[in-house]
Structure 1
Amino acid sequence: MVTLSHAWNKLFPALWPMCVCAFFLLTFGHSQTDTTRIINYTDKIILKANVDTRSDVILYKNREDGSRLHLLPNNRYRLFLSLDYEFIGVSIGVVPKFLGANSDEDLKGTSSFTDYRFRFFLGKWVQSLTYSNVKGYYVRNTRDFVPDWTKGTNPYLQFEGLGNTLYGMSTSYVFNPDFSYRNIVYQNEWQRKSSGSLVASLYYDYTLFRLKEESVDAVEKFFNVRLAPSYYYTFVLHDNWFLSGNISPSLGIKTSRYEIRTDTPPEVEKNTYFTKNLAGGINLGFSSEKVIFGINLNFSADWYNEDDASNVETDQFYGLLYFGYRFEPPKGIKKLFHSKD
């Protein structure tokens, strides 16, 4: 079976030099900006709803005996509601019941999901802050551990006390002034002419992965840093329609501190890992002065070797639908942001 991690190992030697070349071309190849290429709507309030199928999948693999542990939260869909105005944006993510979330709770158990994101637009720079919490996982490959298990009849093995909490930040810089990164990621700009750009991003986060089940109380704390030289391109298909694509290989460092808490002094283990990531996707969208909507197809994979015999991997392929509306801000809000004008 070919996984995204195998594809990454083959693609990365070619992708990295291409991104470096794009860096020099875009840095030294543009002397002025064609302002007709991009229309900025930061003076409008933008309300948007996203629905996606992404899950926090965790895959542990032992290369010596071929065994696997595939953990998955019982969240079929996620809903994000966002608001953007001027240089700031905020979004809230939940798992709503009316979208069929937490389906088959009697078989897969219950899961919870909460996500808060803030973003700040400072010229070519984009800064984001994220808090995310997921709790409650089930073992997708339960049959590997319970041979007489029957799908649809017997409950999956479950870890209701297993949780993943992330405090993250990212800093991105867009090199080409004729390309709108915000058009395809945040929809607070409108790309009118086809263009592409290298977008350099630095991701850094602190993650707590905790298991608390009966007599077991273990927590692993991670600090992750990775650098991603992404490339984006937007094809303007019509006055209002566009098709965009992106590819993003990245490398990083992950440090961990693992603690097993018992009545005796906790057992502590520290490690440092070298991480790899490959992400990308395509976006078909519609943009006008007031209405925006579109569909995204994305993939993401990251992995690292936990030791000589095992590795941790996350492969995801998911879809996203979004719909948004732009409108004039109330006078009070407009006055608050432009009190010095």
Structure 2
Amino acid sequence: MTLKSFVLTALFASFSSAVYSQIDLQDSHFESKNPDNTRFGKAILSSNTPEFKFQAYSEKIIHENDTVPTSEGIVVEDGFIEKMDNYLAFRLSMVNENERFSLDAGPTVLKIYPNGSSVFRLNLNYRFLSVGFNFIPQFLSNNDDDFIKGKTTGIGFSTALNFSHWVQEFRYTRTTGYYLENTSDYQPDWNEGDPYIQFPELHYRSFQGITGYNFNQHFSTKALFFGTERQLKSAGTFLPTLQYRYYIIDNRVEPTNASPTQKSKNFEILANAGYYYTYVINESFYASAGASTGYGLVSSKIITSSPDERIETKQNNGVFKWDARGAIGYNAERIFSGMLLTAENRRFRQQNTNAINTNWRVYLQFHVGYRITAPKKLKENLDAVPFLN
């Protein structure tokens, strides 16, 4: 059996879980005319005073450059949230998040990584709806060392529905090409700069969903993840979620008697409980943090193929998961941006073995977004559906 075959056999045999990857206001002019509204209230100034002239000039400059008119932002939930319902939000993100596998089975330790830590995501968000596309860019410096680590390609699609309380997301991800990060453990003469052991035909595919419930309507998940709202006052929420995923890990090389190939099919379901809080520093700046923990089950079928036979094994295991995240951001009338740091860990002991399967990730995300006026027809069609508003 070759070294590559040994590594992948150990991975699949002991690795059945690999990745994880309105309140409507009756007064429509409340926001701009109510003097008790701290966001929009203005002092009554005489038109003959320098203060009035300066204020009028300042508002003219702001209006002509980068501000949604105040009558367009709808403040709801007792002033905690500003809804940007009349605007499309474009959001571009770069995140060093990608699927990686690790296995600790006594003397055998495997760390299998993709060559391409940076992923670009482009999302188009409107009110409660988000659609997105992501890919691994080859033009970044940390993604272009194919000779050393092999070539990794990846693509993904996502869609999400985000209402005042309910949150729903679906995502598809496909990644091809991995390498053994701890090659030196298996090749004693390996030196930094030498090519790693590579698995160019190792494929990962994932279909996953998340269903969550936000217990506090004063807390805006859209402000954090969509950019279709703004959090105006600090708030926190208890946010339980149910995560479910079907994923496949498949080594598609031609099998031989010395090097059989393996494929695993896995279904995972996790129930999580978490708390998240957004601290509003001022009208445009915020900081947010949260953590969750959960437990669930993963069911796996592993298929080992050689020219002469095909062997199937099935396993069911409990899995423990935790994550923590912190964010800072800027969310103005038109422009929004931010940075999110996330640490995540999934871990379980393999059934009837001493192998410990771990999927861990620590990743940093940067995003920038811009809001434009939504097409009139789009607004009219959604406004005509009462339960969507």
Structures share fold, TM-score greater than 0.5: yes
Kindly indicate whether residue 224 of structure 2 is the aligned counterpart of residue 179 of structure 1.
no
| Residues 47-86 of structure 1, C-alpha deviations (whole Å, 9 max, x = no match) | 00000111212101113x3x31100000131100000113
Q: CA deviation at 1:263?
A: 4.2
Measure the CA separation in 1 of the matches of 2:144 and 2:90: 28
Kindly indicate whether residue 139 of structure 2 is the aligned counterpart of residue 77 of structure 1.
no
Q: CA deviation at 1:339?
A: 5.3
- Code of the residue aligned with 1:300 in structure 2: it is E
The answer as to whether partners of 2:125 and 2:228 remain within 8 angstroms in 1 is: yes
The answer as to whether partners of 1:76 and 1:100 remain within 8 angstroms in 2 is: no
Question: Which of 241, 251, 255 matches 1:211?
Answer: 251
Kindly indicate whether residue 93 of structure 2 is the aligned counterpart of residue 50 of structure 1.
yes
Question: Which of 109, 116, 125 matches 2:166?
Answer: 125
| Residues 294-335 of structure 1, C-alpha deviations (whole Å, 9 max, x = no match) | 111111111111243111112221111000011211224334
Q: Residue 160 and residue 177 in structure 1: after superposition, are their counterparts in 2 closer, same or farther (change >3 A)?
A: same
Give aligned-pair identity as a percent. Answer: 24
Measure the CA separation in 2 of the matches of 1:337 and 1:182: 17
Kindly indicate whether residue 293 of structure 2 is the aligned counterpart of residue 249 of structure 1.
yes
Aligned to 2:276: 232
Question: Which of 176, 182, 186 matches 1:145?
Answer: 186
Q: Secondary structure at the match of 2:143?
A: coil
Aligned to 2:367: 322
Question: Tell me, which stretches of 5 or more residues in structure 2 are unaligned?
Answer: 1-75
The answer as to whether partners of 1:248 and 1:280 remain within 8 angstroms in 2 is: yes
> Which structure's residues are more often strand, by fraction?
1
| Residues 75-121 of structure 1, C-alpha deviations (whole Å, 9 max, x = no match) | 13110000011331111011122333532110100001111110012
Task: Please give the root-mean-square deviation of Cα atoms over the aligned residues, in Å.
Answer: 1.7
Q: Secondary structure at the match of 2:187?
A: coil
Residues 62-101 of structure 1: matches in 2 within 5 Å?
62-63=105-106, 65=107, 67-100=108-141
Q: CA deviation at 1:238?
A: 1.5
The answer as to whether partners of 2:125 and 2:227 remain within 8 angstroms in 1 is: no
Bigger Rg, which one: 2
Q: CA deviation at 1:34?
A: 3.9
TM-score (norm 2): 0.75
Measure the CA separation in 2 of the matches of 1:69 and 1:166: 21
Question: Which of 96, 103, 111 matches 1:60?
Answer: 103
Measure the CA separation in 2 of the matches of 1:340 and 1:246: 34
- Code of the residue aligned with 2:172 in structure 1: it is Y
Q: CA deviation at 1:264?
A: 4.4
- Code of the residue aligned with 2:254 in structure 1: it is E
Aligned to 1:289: 333
Measure the CA separation in 1 of the matches of 2:327 and 2:317: 33
How many residues were matched structurally?
306
Q: Secondary structure at the match of 1:98?
A: coil
Aligned to 1:272: 316
- Code of the residue aligned with 2:243 in structure 1: it is Y
The answer as to whether partners of 1:226 and 1:253 remain within 8 angstroms in 2 is: yes
Q: Residue 340 and residue 103 in structure 1: after superposition, are their counterparts in 2 closer, same or farther (change >3 A)?
A: closer
- Code of the residue aligned with 1:330 in structure 2: it is P
Aligned to 1:24: none
Question: Tell me, which stretches of 5 or more residues in structure 1 are unaligned?
Answer: 1-32
Q: CA deviation at 1:225?
A: 0.3
